Amino acid sequence: MARSAIWAGIAEALTQEIAAGHYGAGDKLPTEAALAQRFGVNRHTVRHALAAMAEAGAVHSRRGSGVFVALQPADYALGRRVRFHQNILASGRTPSRQILRLETRVADLAEREALMMDAGALVHVVEGLSLADAAPVALFRSVFPAADLPDFLRAMDDTNSVTASLARGGVADYTRHSTKISAIAADALIALHLRLREGAPVLRTVAVNRDATGRPVEFGTTYFAGERVTVTLAGEDLG
């Protein structure tokens, strides 16, 4: 009982310090060793306190980096024009993107149906992480019709921007045609990329974007970290 009271007291003390602004959103907390020395306990007790704070959503751990104060969820509007950088900038955060995969391959059935392509058609695949203030908020995979956008991957390598790369391929504007949203539990791979615990809530969106002529130009699946993003639907999508 005494040990339980100690770790609970440590968690309460750190939570109060976060509330008082001693540690801001995204700040790294002192190491387990430093906290153990400060409170005069062993590291196991500190670890118990930090785990309780993580369960409450006050902090989150990054493998190999430490424990950080949780960010307030960023608002992410799903309107007809969904642009990650604009949404994150509007929430007061700094957006960035980390590309994990650029590849051209044969489209699978779901991709062919979404992009209205024939069997054997090729797609460009882009996988990556979308970040806000250097914290991952979404893991995404998008495919694009290779025949219509032959230089798309080269443009992505140059610009790190889907919008700019589509513009280079002659797609001056594109809008969301459809989006399916579902809630899932993060599997091991999603949790690793988004720095979440396995089983944490994730919002999955599956979307098709079309150009001004109605031609499908992007079919994508995105996994949003539930604790870091509040997805909202624009008024035009509520009717």
Structure token pair of residue 61? 């751990």
Examine the pLDDT at 238 and tell me if it is beyond 70: no
Q: How confident is residue 132, by pLDDT bands cut at 50, 70 and 90?
A: confident
| 217 close to 145: Cβ distance less than 8 angstroms | yes
What backbone torsions phi and psi does residue 10 show, to the nearest 5 degrees?
-65, -45
CATH number corresponding to 2-69: 1.10.10.10
Side-chain half-sphere of 170: how many Cα atoms within 13 Å?
8
Q: What pLDDT was estimated at residue 234?
A: 63
Q: Taking each helix axis from N to C terminus, what angle separates 2-19 and 43-55, rounded to the nearest 10 degrees?
A: 60
Over residues 130-157, the mean pLDDT reads: 92
| CATH 3.40.1410.10 residue spans of the chain | 74-237
CATH number corresponding to 74-237: 3.40.1410.10
Q: How confident is residue 137, by pLDDT bands cut at 50, 70 and 90?
A: confident
| CATH 1.10.10.10 residue spans of the chain | 2-69
Q: What is the pTM of this model?
A: 0.72
Examine the pLDDT at 73 and tell me if it is beyond 80: no
